[in-house]
Amino acid sequence: MLHIVNKSPYDRNSLDTAVSYKADGDIFLLIEDGVYAAMKSGAAASKLDGCSVSVLGADIAARGIAEDKLIDGVSVIDYAGFVDLVEANEKVQSWL
């Protein structure tokens, strides 16, 4: 399953809810303010331990987040990569 999280983990509990439903092989795509969860220095980063995580490059750029500030193993993707993830996953859940 592809879990799409677009809210900041410091504003809403969307990331917590998504992670609670995590199963083997699931992928987390962080977009909009959800990208803050992937920052090395953030308290939310530990919630993503052991998860496959991608972030939308345009959203980290819009928020002034450099790629070297992201947790290890995060994949930075473009909009075409976003579409590829949606196509590659039978189920997609957006956590609002």
pLDDT digits (tens, 9 = 90+) for 51-65: 999 999 999 999 999
Looking at residue 40, its pLDDT comes to 95
Cβ atoms within 10 Å, residue 75: 14
Which secondary-structure segment (H or E) carries 92?
Answer: strand 92-95
Looking at residue 69, its pLDDT comes to 97
CATH architecture of 2-95: 3-Layer(aba) Sandwich (3.40)
Looking at residue 14, its pLDDT comes to 96
Q: Which positions of the chain have pLDDT values less than 50? A: none
Residues 6+ away with beta carbon under 8 Å from 87: none
Looking at residue 90, its pLDDT comes to 96
Looking at residue 83, its pLDDT comes to 98
- Type of residue numbered 73: G
